[in-house]
Amino acid sequence: MNLQLHDKIILVSGGAKGIGLGICRALAAEGAIPVIVGRRESDNLTAVESIRRDGGQAHAFAAELSDPEACRRVVAEILAQFGRLDGLVNNAGANDGVGLENGSYDRFVASLHQNLIHYYLLAHYALPALKQSRGAIVNIGSKTAETGQGGTSAYAAANGGRNALTREWAVELLSSGIRVNAVIVAECWTPLYERWVQTLPNPEEKRRQIESRIPLGQRMTTPEEIGAAVAFLLSERSSHTTGQLIHVDGGYVHLDRAI
């Protein structure tokens, strides 16, 4: 299916690795131009080079998105270089384990900046350009907002906020023709996930245990599968879809895992 994304400029936060890179690869394969925004310039450039080697286009800008001023600046830099913006994928963040018992005010607020506040700020600063292009927004979220996980209050709260902002923005931006949806991730096999598993006493057994609870295929989701869903939601092929939380998770959240 031609998603009609050719030459579309799409800002992808946290696009250098894992799920973000899967999204950028999917967009580039459709002829779009993902613009990676992340804190480490070396990681950004490595991702850009890998996409270009595969025949796609990509660009990158370094920014520490927990800094509100950096969010404003990076959107301004993208618009100065490209003159437009056709889509925004809010993806950057990490489960930092700031819990109720082991956390603190400072750590909780810092986690919200890392995982939620830049979603709002990037959308806020990108909005005039998105109105001009009648672009779309996709927020990446986590199952933790719906299932809970334990020991990760800040990340769960941030993801609850991501879900709420998705629905709120979908309403607010109806008159501008800007669609807003979210892709909710459960267990997705990324380099970060693999590093976490390797810290455990029996990594292979832990992975098998996790995968056994994923209803469809007893396997983890891939970044490429997340990327395919995001590309579709950014495209006009999903022209009457807005305000939706799309779970690309092998049925993890909503199907009975006892099966």
Query: Does residue 101 sit in helix, strand or coil?
Result: coil
Structure tokens at 144: 């933790």
Residue 74, C-beta contacts closer than 8 angstroms, at least 6 positions apart: 37, 61, 63, 65
Q: Which residue has the tokens 């800040």?
A: 154
State how far the Cα of 118 lies from the Cα of 106, in Å rounded to an integer. Answer: 17
Q: Which among 125, 155, 193, 252 is annotated as catalytic?
A: 155
Q: Which residue has the tokens 């902002």?
A: 165
**Catalytic residue check, 125:** no
Structure tokens at 221: 């989701």
Rg (CA), the chain: 18
State how far the Cα of 98 lies from the Cα of 153, in Å rounded to an integer. Answer: 6
What is the set of active-site residues? 155
